[in-house]
Amino acid sequence: MKILEKGFTDIEIDPSLDLFAEIEQLKKEKNAIILAHYYQEPDIQDVADYIGDSLGLAQQAEQTNADLIVFAGVHFMAETAKILNPTKKVLLPDLNAGCSLADSAPAELFRAFKAKHPDHLVVSYINCTADIKALSDIICTSGNAEKIIESIPKDQPILFAPDKNLGAYLNKISGRNMLLWNGACMVHEIFSLEKITKLKIRHPKAKLIAHPECEDAILRIADYIGSTTQLLKYTKSDTASEYIVATETGILHQMQQDNPQKTFIPAPPTNNCACNDCPHMKLNTLEKLYLCMKYETPEITMDETLRLAAKKPMDRMLDISRAAGLLG
């Protein structure tokens, strides 16, 4: 087996090994915690200590007493955990697990854009690199964005990055006119309005629930819009028995577990590929999770000056969320 700088390759794990038991054992031995996003494959969700949306994961990372944080998610999420925990080792099973949305805001271009609007306060969605966080005044997630925007005086101009869809949705519900960076998530832009419309005709009682990273055309016809945790909570409290789910398919695992009697249909993409699976999130596998815990690599490291600059807007977000009683 080779260990590359960014993770594992030529993986040869004894197929008779019970990876669930091995991972549990490693957790105890190393005082490790596994934090997983809802978009991870079901096996990873089943072995995680905490599964949540970006807000919940950041809050857990802030509070944990574990010595080792194993982050089953994408790079910006593991980076967030490191920003909040400089003395702890933070592992990501595959360092190539990036994010198309974070990639849509390169730091140098963003710095130049920000310089053109010196009177604007910069609010950045957590789906961005540590460099972008360091250039921001406040961070938000899909679960607290509305409250974060509300906390800013109405006459203060805002530059919102990197997700133009979430930004446009926030402009609509808040009545603001935030200046939007032109970024988007490849998964949430793939849903087909035409196919969803046809699906709704075949399932007239099904409710459409959507993540705010989706395009406006999808959000306009949605019955409920929210972060992954909010979508999950909605399916538990709502009385419908069928839902069309316009977000990454990984969330269906928890929805189905929490509501065994309900039906969840993934919203169809524009073509016939499985493009509503995030290719970055799905780079992590149970095998890579096991190996990364066993060998304690690949690890997230960060320059301390960058970490401190990125932590400031993260702390503001966590403080506002705490004051508003918001949990992910």
Binding site for ligand 13P (CB under 6 A): 53-54, 127, 141-143, 185, 211, 213, 227-228
Q: Which stretch in 2-10, 42-50, 184-192, 234-242 sits in contact with ligand SF4 by CB under 6 A?
A: 184-192
Q: Which of 35, 92, 185, 286 binds ligand SF4 (CB under 6 A)?
A: 185
Tokens of 262: 């309900």
Whole-angstrom distance, CA of residue 97 vs CA of residue 45: 16
Q: Is 104 in the site for ligand SF4 (CB under 6 A)?
A: no
- Sort residue 325 into left (φ over 0), alpha (ψ -120 to 50) or beta: left
Q: Is 74 in the site for ligand SF4 (CB under 6 A)?
A: yes
Strand order in the sheet with 263-266: 224-225, 207-210, 242-246, 263-266
> Least distance (Å) from ligand SF4 to the CB of residue 202?
26
Site for ligand SF4 in 188-247 (CB under 6 A): none
Selection from ligand SF4, ligand 13P, none that 124 binds (CB < 5 to 8 A by kind) is: none
Q: Give the nearer residue to ligand SF4 in terms of CB position, either 152 or 190.
A: 190
Q: Which of 45, 127, 129, 136 binds ligand SF4 (CB under 6 A)?
A: 127
Q: Which helix (H) or strand (E) holds 91?
A: strand 89-91
* In the block, residue with structure tokens 């490191």: 82
Q: Is 186 in the site for ligand SF4 (CB under 6 A)?
A: yes
> Least distance (Å) from ligand 13P to the CB of residue 309?
22
Tokens of 279: 């290719």
> Least distance (Å) from ligand 13P to the CB of residue 126?
7
Could you give the C-alpha distances from 130 to 206, 297, 300, in angstroms and in order?
39, 20, 12
Whole-angstrom distance, CA of residue 78 vs CA of residue 92: 6
Selection from ligand 13P, ligand SF4, none that 143 binds (CB < 5 to 8 A by kind) is: ligand 13P
| Cβ atoms of 76 and 104 closer than 8 Å | no
Q: Is 278 in the site for ligand SF4 (CB under 6 A)?
A: yes
Q: Is 55 in the site for ligand SF4 (CB under 6 A)?
A: no
Q: Give the nearer residue to ligand 13P in terms of CB position, either 26 or 310.
A: 310
Angle, alpha carbons 149-155-160 (nearest 5°): 40
Q: Is 100 in the site for ligand SF4 (CB under 6 A)?
A: yes
Angle, alpha carbons 94-96-100 (nearest 5°): 130
Q: Is 51 in the site for ligand SF4 (CB under 6 A)?
A: no
Q: How many CB atoms lie within 10 A of CB 147?
A: 16
Tokens of 160: 């919102």
In this structure, the strands spanning 2-4 and 7-9 are antiparallel
Q: Give the nearer residue to ligand SF4 in terms of CB position, either 66 or 264.
A: 264
Whole-angstrom distance, CA of residue 148 vs CA of residue 313: 11
Q: Give the nearer residue to ligand SF4 in terms of CB position, either 66 or 128.
A: 128
Q: Which of 92, 126, 158, 187 binds ligand SF4 (CB under 6 A)?
A: 187
Q: How many residues bind ligand SF4 (CB under 6 A)?
A: 13
Selection from ligand 13P, ligand SF4, none that 280 binds (CB < 5 to 8 A by kind) is: ligand SF4
Selection from ligand 13P, ligand SF4, none that 53 binds (CB < 5 to 8 A by kind) is: ligand 13P
Residue 293: which of 9, 28, 5 has the closest Cα? 28
* In the block, residue with structure tokens 């519900």: 173
Contact residues: ligand SF4, CB under 6 A: 39, 74, 99-101, 127, 185-187, 248, 278, 280-281
